[in-house]
């Protein structure tokens, strides 16, 4: 499990397969932080390639939302296990989470437990709910871990399965978090419509003068929008800002 990404106080679970699931929430912090993952097409197809029992997707690809800061989880793990896990504050004691705060490469539960001994209560809960052989894939951007994907299975994963899931972790994370990102990412970063439009036009290779003609903004306004967008995205220049906006799915 991965204690990642945004400060949400709700614990009700909901499907994250469609954007309209989140239309009733005013802002990102009002979305339930622990959500039940049901009937997701990507997960279903992935299970056909590599059998696994449970998957947990944590974190959002937003500036400042690094590993361990707060909570954003979509999972199909047993609800009672998840509720007990967080009610009893197991996350800070979980070897997988402890190791994941410093490691940026994939690792198994066995490797994590070699470094930190798991508490007996966590071992009991895991056995009672059939949570076995977890593997964690941290996801990084510019050396910051913004999220992770965790798989578990009755038997240990083979090396081939491990390598395949490693390749699929990031696209899976993108697919699961896309509804939240589509609805809330721009507002969370406080990018204005003008900034987003200028970034979108810049992504097509237009110069500032061409963006001004296309958008009807004054040239000074275009440059100001691009500069402020770069600052909000933590980018060093226009090209970097466009790449960040595309990478975070803020523009097409």
Name all domains of the chain by residue range, CATH numbers in brackets. Answer: 19-188 (3.30.450.80), 193-247 (1.10.10.10)
Q: What is the pLDDT of residue 38?
A: 87
Angle at Cα 52 formed by Cα 156 and Cα 183, nearest 5°? 130
Neighbours of 26 (CB within 10 A): 8
Any bridge partners for residue 107, and if so which?
136
Please tell me the predicted confidence (pLDDT) of residue 77. Answer: 97
CA angle in degrees (0–180, nearest 5) for 136-146-62 = 150
Residues in Cβ contact with 159 at an 8 Å cutoff, skipping those fewer than 6 apart: none
Left if phi > 0, otherwise alpha if psi is -120 to 50, otherwise beta: which for 75? beta
Displacement of CA 18 from its chain's centroid (Å): 16
pTM of the model: 0.76
**For 131-165, b where at least 16 C-beta lie within 10 A, e where not — what string?**
bebbbbbbbebeeebbbbbbbbbeeebeeebbeeb
* pLDDT score for 67: 61
Cα pseudo-dihedral 103, 106, 109, 114, rounded to 10? -50
Residue 82: both structure tokens together: 């998840």
**pLDDT tens-place values along the chain, 252 residues long:** 333 333 333 344 444 445 567 878 887 878 888 999 988 999 999 999 999 999 999 988 776 566 655 578 999 999 999 999 999 999 999 999 999 888 889 999 999 999 999 999 999 999 999 999 999 999 987 677 889 999 999 999 999 999 999 999 999 999 999 888 888 877 778 899 999 999 999 999 999 999 999 999 999 999 999 999 999 888 999 999 999 888 888 887
């Amino acid at each position: 499990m991965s204690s990642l990404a945004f400060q949400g106080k709700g614990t009700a679970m909901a499907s994250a397969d469609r954007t309209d699931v989140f239309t009733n929430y005013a802002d990102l912090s009002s979305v339930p932080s622990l959500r039940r993952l049901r009937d997701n097409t990507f997960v279903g197809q992935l299970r056909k390639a590599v059998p696994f029992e449970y998957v947990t997707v944590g974190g959002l690809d937003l500036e400042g939302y690094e590993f361990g800061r707060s909570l954003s989880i979509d999972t199909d793990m047993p609800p009672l296990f998840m509720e007990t896990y967080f009610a009893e504050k197991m996350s800070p004691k979980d070897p997988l989470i402890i190791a994941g705060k410093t490691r940026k490469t994939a690792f198994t539960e066995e490797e994590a437990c070699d470094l930190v001994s798991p508490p007996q209560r966590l071992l009991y809960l895991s056995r009672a709910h059939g949570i076995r052989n977890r593997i964690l894939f941290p996801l990084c951007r510019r050396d910051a871990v913004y999220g992770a994907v965790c798989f578990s299975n009755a038997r240990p994963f083979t090396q081939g399965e491990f390598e395949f899931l490693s390749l699929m972790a990031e696209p899976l994370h993108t697919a699961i978090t896309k509804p939240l990102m589509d609805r809330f990412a721009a507002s969370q970063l406080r990018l204005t419509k003008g900034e987003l439009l200028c970034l979108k036009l810049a992504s097509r290779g237009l110069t500032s003068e061409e963006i001004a003609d296309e958008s009807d903004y004054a040239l000074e306004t275009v440059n100001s929008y691009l500069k402020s967008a770069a600052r909000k995205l933590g980018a060093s220049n226009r090209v970097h800002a466009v790449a960040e906006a595309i990478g975070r799915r803020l523009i097409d």
